[in-house]
Chains A and B, each alone.
Chain A
Amino acid sequence: MSDVADRVRKIVVEHLGVEEDKVVENASFIDDLGADSLDTVELVMAFEEEFGIEIPDDAAETIQTFGDAVRFIKEAQ
């Protein structure tokens, strides 16, 4: 659990340039972490690469928060 969360958090911190403690379970990429819509596409691309999974577009649209991302990746693995 923590491993996936840590890796996702690292990507989010690096990509969006936010403080690590802001990246909490319910943090919305767009509303809380300052991402624009293209950033969310790039985050999904980065998750795909980091975890060696494919995230289809319709699934990507459901990933709105940090918690969503961690949950999706753990299920996909």
Chain B
Amino acid sequence: MFDLTGKTALVTGASGGIGGAIATALHGAGATVGLSGTRTAPLEELAASLGDRAHVLPCNLSDAEAVNALPKQAIEAMGGLDILVNNAGITRDNLFMRMSEEDWAQVLEVNLTSTMRLCKGVVRPMMKARWGRIINISSIVGATGNPGQTNYAAAKAGMVGMSKSLAYEVASRGITVNCVAPGFIETAMTDKLNDEQKSGILGQIPSGRMGTPEEIAAAVLYLASPEAGYVTGATLHVNGGMAML
């Protein structure tokens, strides 16, 4: 099950915990993967550990020109682009009353606008191929809201609305567009929380633990697979029951 042999996948934010796990899972299912991110060293490291079928494609997602060029670079490197995983994201948390327009704009630019740009770049080859998988990594916060994250929540909710609309437009061409919405996942980001914060969060999670990057990757792998061809416009929540949506 979930055989991606012969498929090519571009994963943004592959230098992070979740992105790295996604790339590893897709690669493990047989896909050729393009690893994108701003920091080259961790990408090179991941590519080396994956071995064959892994390409490093550094890209700064706040640079529009670089983002627009990325799908072409990926196609050149891998010979095609069947699967796009928009995983990269940044946070600039602050109380709404203190949030600067710059923090707002930056988060929207990297999390939402770069996703739009990459979708635009891959839809054409996917339409030609009559097959494609776009998986956008949203967040539980996009559905529930979170104090201090008005910008991030807006971007992540925006991603869901965009994905549904695009899913309508391209469904007849064999392209699916879905979101995965992680809850609290063990990554460098959540490592920074102190014990008190952690126990507060755990109290809200019926599973009683944080999720692992591999559990997000498994959801992405499913949505990328031929078996998920009838699933489109969906948001798969992977959050230990923290929000049952």
Main SS at interface, chain B: helix
Give the distance to chain A from B170, nearest Cβ to Cβ, in Å.
Answer: 7
**A53 located at the interface, meaning its Cβ lies under 8 Å from any Cβ of chain B in the complex:** no
A45 touches B170 (CB 8 A): no
A45 touches B128 (CB 8 A): yes
The distance in angstroms between the C-alpha atoms of A42 and B124, with both chains bound, is 9
B170 touches A38 (CB 8 A): yes
The distance in angstroms between the C-alpha atoms of A36 and B172, with both chains bound, is 11
By the criterion of a CB under 8 Å from any partner CB, how many residues of chain B are at the interface? 7
| Closest partner residue, chain A, to B125 (CB atom) | A45
| Closest partner residue, chain A, to B123 (CB atom) | A41
Give the distance to chain B from A28, nearest Cβ to Cβ, in Å.
Answer: 20
**B25 located at the interface, meaning its Cβ lies under 8 Å from any Cβ of chain A in the complex:** no
A45 touches B173 (CB 8 A): no
The distance in angstroms between the C-alpha atoms of A56 and B172, with both chains bound, is 24
The distance in angstroms between the C-alpha atoms of A36 and B170, with both chains bound, is 12
Q: Within 8 Å CB of B173, what residues of A?
A: 38
Q: Within 8 Å CB of A38, what residues of B?
A: 127, 169-170, 172-173
| Closest partner residue, chain B, to A42 (CB atom) | B127
Hey, what's the 0/1 contact readout for A28-53 against B, CB within 8 Å counting as 1?
A: 00000000101001100100000000
Give the distance to chain B from A43, nearest Cβ to Cβ, in Å.
Answer: 12
| Closest partner residue, chain A, to B124 (CB atom) | A45
Give the distance to chain A from B134, nearest Cβ to Cβ, in Å.
Answer: 16
The distance in angstroms between the C-alpha atoms of A31 and B176, with both chains bound, is 28
Q: Which residues of B127-174 have CB atoms within 8 Å of chain A's CB atoms? A: 127-128, 169-170, 172-173
| Closest partner residue, chain A, to B128 (CB atom) | A45
Give the distance to chain A from B68, nearest Cβ to Cβ, in Å.
Answer: 14
The distance in angstroms between the C-alpha atoms of A39 and B51, with both chains bound, is 40
- Having A36-B172, A42-B127, one finds 9 other A-B pairs with CB under 8 Å, namely A38-B127, A38-B169, A38-B170, A38-B172, A38-B173, A41-B127, A45-B124, A45-B127, A45-B128
> Which residues of B are at the interface with A, using a C-beta cutoff of 8 A?
124, 127-128, 169-170, 172-173
11 A-B interface contacts by CB (under 8 A): A36-B172, A38-B127, A38-B169, A38-B170, A38-B172, A38-B173, A41-B127, A42-B127, A45-B124, A45-B127, A45-B128
Q: 8 shortest A-B CB distances, which residue pairs?
A: A42-B127, A45-B124, A38-B169, A38-B172, A38-B173, A45-B128, A45-B127, A38-B170
